[in-house]
Structure 1
Amino acid sequence: MVDGNEIIRLIGDLVNIPSPSGRAEKAIAYTEAVFKSLGMPTQRTNKGALIATIKGKDDGKHRLLTAHVDTLGAMVKEIKADGRLKLEKIGGFPWNMVEGEYCEIETRTGRRYTGTILMHQTSVHVYKDAGKAERNDENIEVRIDEKVKSREDTEALGIGVGDFVSFHPRFAVTESGFVKSRHLDDKASVAILLHVVAKLKENGVELPYTTHILISNNEEIGYGGNSNIPPETVEYLAVDMGAIGDGQATDEYSVSICAKDASGPYHYALRQHLVALAEEHNIPYKIDIYPYYGSDASAAMRAGADVVHGLIGPGIDASHAFERTHRDSLVHTGTLIYHYLQSHLAVED
């Protein structure tokens, strides 16, 4: 029913489109083209997000599912005297998570240059403290792949303060079914939603409720899915990564169903409904709590949305670093969404 290879193909397309928060237009355009190819009406929000709609049998009560296409990234903070760049983070991550990564700088005029994110004190043959120096805003820099020796040389390329910097995804798929890439948060979930919608259309499934798919573009900075929620919306399900680590139940082979994150508990009746669907359809799942996490659904609740809210997603290892998941988790997440969209509301009158 759900094709893991097709989900992985979509992930590969998406992660190779640079889209740090604030510069996600090309990734939004990609998802828009997919929805339009399926005959779904779409609209852009003033914030630049995308909403696609499937009309259901009941047009008085709506569902909304969201995933975000924006990613971590950076912005040029300063051009140093030697022509290298200081950075300002976009999103929440420590610098050691991207040290040594290839990157791309996009200028105001659309020119693109490659570079590498490095410590200033990189060479052990020159800097005695190379291994001990702090990975911070002062020491991290971008070595540009151009002949630059001064601030003026870099400025002559058209690079300036405020230019966006994206991280190379290094997308790879192993024979054992693992998908390794930056930005699986949350492009893996976007790919799952695109594929599930295509499957519903292919199978001629009529949904019980009108359903909206919101592809948000500012989740990593906290306010992606907090607006443009149609007033008829009763249930709001965020599809985002399940975080893996010590003390966590989530793994790379199941769908993760979130009970609580830093914003508080998710709606209990919806969580129970999702668990019941997983058990009915023999979908491997894990219930988990993410203590340092927030989603588009929790952002919507903070903004005052009067909806039943939930959060599920594939298990992602090394979140906000060089991430990894498995085909199984992608398939199980997609399968749960496929059945959820055909189910009754978790809380009915």
Structure 2
Amino acid sequence: MTHVVCGSEIIQIIRDLVNIPSPSGNAGKAIQYVETYLKELGIKTKRNNKGGLLATIPGKDDTKHRFLTAHVDTLGAMVKEIKSDGRLRLTKIGGFPWNMVEGEYCQIETASGKTYTGTILIHQTSTHVYRDAGKAERSDENIEVRIDEKVTSKEETEALGIQVGDFVSFDPGFVTTDSGFVKSRHLDDKASVAILLHVIKILKERGMTLPYTTHFLISNNEEIGFGGNSNITPETVEYLAVDMGAIGDGQATDEYTVSICAKDASGPYHYGLRKHLVALAEKYQLNYKIDIYPYYASDASAAVRAGYDLIHGLIGPGIDASHAFERTHQESLCHTGDLIYYYLQSEILEA
């Protein structure tokens, strides 16, 4: 089929974004990238006090608004302690087990803006020294960062300017394949941000006027639960989060379709909006899967929990190995983009 929202530009935006470190709490550079992209399109934007970015496209009807969100913040870590041997003990930012990042290259950003590289390792790494290295618990106590500097003591590491509270980001390892796969950390949720940006560009290039004033929030605290629970206009009726579809045993979601969420850990999403999204997918012959994510919450559910009276939904590309070595396929990106494109032109649901 011929897609409206597809192509190499989405992949390039993903590549750009995943290579900008942006763990929750330190996503300013990624927000700046998005802000620059939108301003070059002539889209009105503003920063909120939390550091997120709100873009608004006026529509024919300004009495009812739509609100879409995707997030640029990612998993990461922070320096918890500088050990006596100069290595770093970490505390997690976001939800993941340590084994998902063991052996990963990382970057430490100091408060002064200087960066150092390192590797995340379990303390008992060498099998020539530690007989039970494979059985050692991957825990806050055992995981550490080996810094790529000549340091052997706490004092030498501190002399570099590294201190408790410095942010640690994980190298993305971005790769595309001839078979159409995109492999990288942080596809959650930079793949969705890239899709939204490309949709906005197409709307702008085609000179389209949306039926309703529509806001796009690029949030920066989703991984810690409160990225999209504010800055929602009183006129907002529908709130659609664009985030990953989680793949695994018992899940319907795959890497080749758009995932439409019926329920996650927060409870069911709006039934009428879910059916509306399915009807759009079928009308425009988009491949989709309806799914339930048992250990998941989104910016949309955060907004509802914050007390907003909204019709809320959640869709996104299917992402394999979420919060680890993630992968999706271009087909999933395209079907997700097309569904957003057609959704933005559809009628808002009646309560």
Whole-angstrom CA distance in 2 between matches of 1:106 and 1:307: 39
Whole-angstrom CA distance in 2 between matches of 1:233 and 1:36: 23
- 1:129-148 alignment runs, 5 A limit: 129-148=132-151
Question: Which residue pairs with 1:125 in the alignment?
Answer: 128
> Of 74, 81, 84, which aligns to 2:84?
81
Question: Does residue 1:348 correspond to 2:347, yes or no?
Answer: no
Tell me the CA shift for residue 5 of structure 1: 1.3
Question: Does residue 1:161 correspond to 2:159, yes or no?
Answer: no
- What are the superposed Cα offsets for residues 136-164 of structure 1, whole Å, 9 maximum, x if unpaired? 00000000000000000100000000000
- 1:88-99 alignment runs, 5 A limit: 88-99=91-102
Whole-angstrom CA distance in 1 between matches of 2:144 and 2:171: 16
Whole-angstrom CA distance in 2 between matches of 1:119 and 1:12: 29
- 1:241-260 alignment runs, 5 A limit: 241-260=244-263
Find the residue that maps to 1:301 and give its secondary structure.
helix
> Of 165, 179, 185, which aligns to 2:188?
185
- 1:256-271 alignment runs, 5 A limit: 256-271=259-274
Q: Give the TM-score, by structure 2 length.
A: 0.99
Contact 2:6/2:333 (8 A) holds in 1: no
- What are the superposed Cα offsets for residues 2-44 of structure 1, whole Å, 9 maximum, x if unpaired? 2231111100000000000000000001101111111111110
Question: Does residue 1:292 correspond to 2:300, yes or no?
Answer: no
Question: Which residue pairs with 1:313 in the alignment?
Answer: 316
Find the residue that maps to 1:57 and give its secondary structure.
strand
Whole-angstrom CA distance in 2 between matches of 1:187 and 1:50: 14
Question: Does residue 1:10 correspond to 2:48, yes or no?
Answer: no
Q: What letter corresponds to residue 334 of structure 1 in structure 2?
A: G
Tell me the CA shift for residue 129 of structure 1: 1.1
> Of 195, 200, 210, which aligns to 1:197?
200
- What are the superposed Cα offsets for residues 42-69 of structure 1, whole Å, 9 maximum, x if unpaired? 1100010000000000011000000000
Tell me the CA shift for residue 204 of structure 1: 1.2
Aligned-pair Cα RMSD in Å = 0.6
Q: Percent identity over the alignment?
A: 78
Whole-angstrom CA distance in 2 between matches of 1:25 and 1:79: 26
Find the residue that maps to 1:208 and give its secondary structure.
strand
> Of 70, 73, 91, which aligns to 1:70?
73
Question: Does residue 1:210 correspond to 2:190, yes or no?
Answer: no
Gaps of 5+ in 1: none
Q: Give the TM-score, by structure 1 length.
A: 0.99
Contact 1:297/1:309 (8 A) holds in 2: yes
Q: What letter corresponds to residue 98 of structure 1 in structure 2?
A: V
Find the residue that maps to 1:81 and give its secondary structure.
coil
- What are the superposed Cα offsets for residues 47-103 of structure 1, whole Å, 9 maximum, x if unpaired? 100000000000110000000000000000000000000000000000000000000
- 1:218-229 alignment runs, 5 A limit: 218-229=221-232
Whole-angstrom CA distance in 2 between matches of 1:192 and 1:230: 23
- What are the superposed Cα offsets for residues 157-199 of structure 1, whole Å, 9 maximum, x if unpaired? 0000000000000000000000000000000000000000000
Whole-angstrom CA distance in 2 between matches of 1:234 and 1:2: 25
After TM superposition, the runs of 4+ consecutive aligned structure 1 residues lying more than 4 A away are none
Whole-angstrom CA distance in 1 between matches of 2:350 and 2:89: 53
Q: What letter corresponds to residue 338 of structure 1 in structure 2?
A: Y
Tell me the CA shift for residue 306 of structure 1: 0.5
Whole-angstrom CA distance in 2 between matches of 1:81 and 1:274: 56
- What are the superposed Cα offsets for residues 261-311 of structure 1, whole Å, 9 maximum, x if unpaired? 000000000000000000000000000000000000000010001110000
Question: Which residue pairs with 1:55 in the alignment?
Answer: 58
Whole-angstrom CA distance in 2 between matches of 1:270 and 1:2: 21
Whole-angstrom CA distance in 1 between matches of 2:18 and 2:10: 12
Whole-angstrom CA distance in 2 between matches of 1:34 and 1:232: 27
Q: What letter corresponds to residue 148 of structure 2 in structure 1?
A: D
Gaps of 5+ in 2: none
